[in-house]
Amino acid sequence: MSRKYFGTDGIRGHVGQFPITPDFMLKLGWAAGMAFRKQGKCRILIGKDTRISGYMFESALEAGLSAAGADVMLLGPMPTPAIAYLTRTFQAEAGIVISASHNPHYDNGIKFFSGSGTKLPDEVELMIEELLDQPMTVVESAQLGKVSRINDAAGRYIEFCKSSVPTSTSFAGLKLVIDCAHGATYKVAPSVFRELGAQVSTLAVQPNGLNINDNCGSTHVEALQAEVLAQQADLGIAFDGDGDRVLMVDHAGVVVDGDELLFIIARDLQERGKLQGGVVGTLMSNLGLELALAELGIPFSRAKVGDRYVMADLQERDWQLGGENSGHVVCFQHTTTGDAIIAALQVLLALRRNGQSLAEARQALRKCPQVLINVRFVGGADPLEHPAVKDACARVTERMAGRGRVLLRKSGTEPLVRVMVEGEDGAQVRGYAEELAKVVTEVCA
């Protein structure tokens, strides 16, 4: 069955435009409460990032859940993976995240976690969608859900993150700059690294509801690059607004993306005999990652783009490590979803064990030139099915003669067509990508 509301990463859109409206969130809270009720009652956690609309949607969801008889536990601003973790530890039926991840403040969205801290099964999402189309009811007054607040949520998650590295771990002598994107990691991330001994300077840790992801964080690393150089830091760490993506900057100001972080973690696990199976990437993962892992004898699989598909492939193969070049990194040996802080800790641990700088550790992965151009479209016919787009892709693929890749796909979170070309010659790759983007733009006009 096709979904009416849920996309690849929950429900997301522009605040004030359906379905990202207070009345829809009220109904969504009720539908979720009805779907998760067991034996007449259930417990559901709600966390959010720092965007201003989170207050409004938190209240609406809370009311809907209570009307369905669900007890609600409020976490306040917390990273998305923290909500997955706390949903498990409090033995709740579900966790709800109010966030639009790396998007600007004027977007928002809803993501759900199951009681085990994983993405919802398809059948549960479909059940919620069916309930959304039914009239809303209210349980008897004596059965209404109660609401409480978890005051020690941040401390619990900080200790969980620290538990992902050996108790003897110390990052003393390591000078870090951390960019929290004015988002959900602004309190917990600096504390984690400081408590493990690192010297930490921070950027973008003053959220005001409107500045989340605004020229900061993992989608805008320029300020972090400049600060790492100015402070002569060992490296910089950039999180996104909800704390499930991480990129790094080495001491020379060079950006280290998710593919390179995955490689550093995988190689370290293999050297210690702790790598279970191989690594899952996506269709967007750089060809250089695949080749570098092959040199180490590490299997590699490509999933569709989106962390839910990476995690599904990991579960199917019984592997533990996967991710995306955007910075989603999943370490299943430690947690149930992509976790930026835990991924960053695994990278620092690998560097410390091997006595390497970040710049040195990434050298074994020789990335192929890859150009990504985003083309905006407003709906209507699928541009990827247009004959002109198909013909252009075929022409470019033929010219590359097996020495590169072409990938066009629609974003699961924004109204964009992503045009990606990868190959050996950077100038040639750029030309091909611009050629394809022009065709897509004409079709979308």
Q: What was the pLDDT predicted at 2?
A: 66
Q: Residue 1, Cα to own-chain centre: how many angstroms?
A: 25
| 161 domain-assigned | no
Structure tokens at 333: 């040996």
Please tell me the distance from the alpha carbon of residue 341 to that of residue 207, in angstroms, as a whole number: 19
Reading the block at residue 252, the tokens are 């020379």
Q: Which domain holds residue 437?
A: 370-444
Q: Is 3 contained in some domain?
A: no
Say yes or no: 436 and 406 in one domain. yes
Answer yes or no: do 203 and 323 share one domain: no
Same domain, 245 and 379: no
- Looking at residue 305, what is its pLDDT? 86
Q: Angle at the Cα of 202 (from 198 to 208), degrees rounded to 5?
A: 145
Dihedral pair phi/psi, residue 131, rounded to 5°: -70, -30
- Which residue is it, tokens 């598909």? 309
* CB-based contacts of 247, cutoff 8 Å, min separation 6: 218, 221, 237, 238, 255, 256, 257, 258, 261, 327
If we measure between CA atoms, which residue out of 387, 430, 389 comes closest to residue 408?
Answer: 389
pLDDT of residue 17: 97
CB 375 within 8 A of CB 437: yes
Residues 216, 423: Cα–Cα separation, whole Å: 30
Domain shared by 281 and 302, yes or no: yes
Write the burial class of residue 65 (CB in 10 Å: 0-12 exposed, 13-18 middle, 19+ buried): buried
Residues 251 and 265 reside in one and the same domain: no
**pLDDT reported for residue 336:** 93
Instruction: Choose one of 123, 153, 183: the last residue of a domain.
Output: 153
Q: Residue 141 burial (CB < 10 Å; 0-12/13-18/19+)?
A: exposed
Nearest of 327, 308, 184 to residue 245 by alpha carbon: 327
CATH code for the domain of 78: 3.40.120.10
Q: Which of 311, 313, 302 is nearest to 409 (CA)?
A: 302
Task: Indicate if 101 belongs to the active site.
Answer: yes
Spatial CA neighbour of 161 closest among 47, 99, 85? 85
pLDDT score at 7: 84
**Same domain for 124 and 70?**
yes
Within-domain flag for 345: yes
Low-confidence stretches of the chain (pLDDT beneath 50): none
Collapsed DSSP state (helix, strand, coil) of residue 325: coil
HSE-up (13 A, CA, CB side) for residue 64: 28
Same domain, 284 and 238: no
> Which residue type, as a one-letter code, is found at position 218?
S
Q: Do 106 and 204 fall into the same domain?
A: no
Considering the domain boundaries, does residue 330 fall inside one?
Answer: yes
State the pLDDT at residue 126: 93
CA dist 142 and 41 (Å) reads: 12
SS3 61: helix
Q: Which of 367, 398, 433 is the last residue of a domain?
A: 367
Domain finish residue from 255, 277, 301: 255
Nearest one of 103, 128, 106, 113 to 56, comparing CA atoms: 106
CA 97 to chain centre: 12
Q: Which of 101, 114, 218, 285 is catalytic?
A: 101
- Name the 3-class secondary structure at 359: helix
pLDDT at site 39? 64
Based on the fold, state whether residues 250 and 380 are members of the same structural domain: no
Looking at residue 323, what is its pLDDT? Answer: 97
Domain-located, residue 190: yes
Q: How many structural domains compose the chain?
A: 4
Asked if residue 327 lies in contact with residue 261, where contact means CB atoms within 8 angstroms, the answer is yes
CATH of the domain at 439: 3.30.310.50
Are 251 and 261 part of one and the same domain? Answer: no
Q: State the CB neighbour count (10 A cutoff) for residue 293.
A: 22
Q: Rounded to an integer, what distance in angstroms lies between the CA atom of residue 98 and that of residue 96?
A: 7
Residue from 212, 66, 54 nearest 142 by CA:
66
Count CB neighbours of 294 within 10 A.
11
Structure token pair of residue 245:
């993506």
pTM value is: 0.90
Determine the residue type at 228.
V
Is 351 in the same domain as 395? Answer: no
Residue 293: inside a domain, yes or no? yes
What is the 3-state secondary structure of 256-323?
ECHHHHHHHHHHHHHHCCCCCCCEEEECCCCHHHHHHHHHCCCCEEEECCCHHHHHHHHHHHCCCEEE
pLDDT for the residue 248: 98
Instruction: Note whether residue 139 is domain-resident.
Output: yes
If asked whether residues 107 and 16 sit together in one domain, one would say: yes
Whole-number Cα distances in Å, 159 to 50, 185, 192, 237, 304: 22, 14, 8, 19, 33
Residue 47 domain-assigned (yes or no): yes
